[in-house]
Structure 1
């Protein structure tokens, strides 16, 4: 039966352990090894291609490492707009306002980012939109 104003509903089920939830910037998911960095210089010294960096704050100085990251997780709510714009252009997901990310996510662990929902999963989660 069709009713005026009715909608179809779809249930989405994702299997994976949720580590934390914040806010996401785009709809491109990412997975990789987590790497804690204190600043851009620290990232330049430690970062390997395809890693997901975990930072307390994301400033303009991180622009030079964007070609190497698979994603960025930021504890704070404020970020450099130039970095956000560049990440959007390069389809690099950001999850921000991720309170406690530095203590919850361990360096070296494999994680999946779902920026559409603002969720970080432990391991490889099967995400589809």
Structure 2
């Protein structure tokens, strides 16, 4: 209750956590439920460890509110927010290609180049740092994530996603806090 004296602090009552991880999860959920945060926001959580003891505010954590769809090997330093285009073949990729899209495919080769030329970023299920997708991404300064297992099944066609190539993470929706 004493926290209410500080500007911008909104204390709330929540169930008592038993672990630190549960405490962070409850705090994030409470912030969203009360409308203080939404998906894509970055929040600062202050807490005390051990959990449940008074006067032990000794932990701070910056946490992103949102859904992480996948994590793999990122190539590049950029983040891109765009709609995903899922394709299972070069022909399908070329037919569905849109300027500024994030192309999500099982693999790439030279047949995919017309679609890759229109893409703002690329997510590939197979491959590594020496794969076709990685080499093309480096040459064209295109953010790429390779080795993204089940990406074509996890990400929905047309879904708005955020690709962080520096960390190799794909988030659902627009995440501007990265």
Assess same fold via TM > 0.5: yes
Deviations 1:1-38 (A, max 9, x none): xxxxxxxxxx8654431000010111111111111111
Q: Show the counterpart of 1:44.
A: 94
Structure-2 residue corresponding to 1:32: 82
Partner Cα separation in structure 1 for residue 145 and residue 151 of structure 2: 10
Name the structure with the higher helix share: 2
Could you tell me which runs of 5 or more consecutive residues in structure 1 were left unpaired when the two chains were aligned. 1-10
Alignment map for 1:1-129 (pairs within 5 Å): 13-78=63-128, 81=131, 83-128=133-178
CA distance in 2, matches of 1:23, 1:12: 23
The number of equivalent residue pairs is 118
Say which SS state the counterpart of residue 27 (structure 1) adopts.
coil
Q: What is the RMSD of the two structures over their aligned residues, measured on CA atoms?
A: 2.1
Distance 2:98 2:130 in 1: 23
Larger relative contact order, structure 1 or 2 (CA cutoff 8 Å, min sep 6):
1
What is the rounded CA distance, in whole Å, between the counterparts of 1:78 and 1:60 in structure 2? 16
**Distance between the aligned counterparts of 1:69 and 1:76, measured in 2?**
18
- Structure 1 or 2, whichever has the larger Rg, is 2
SS of residue paired to 1:124: coil
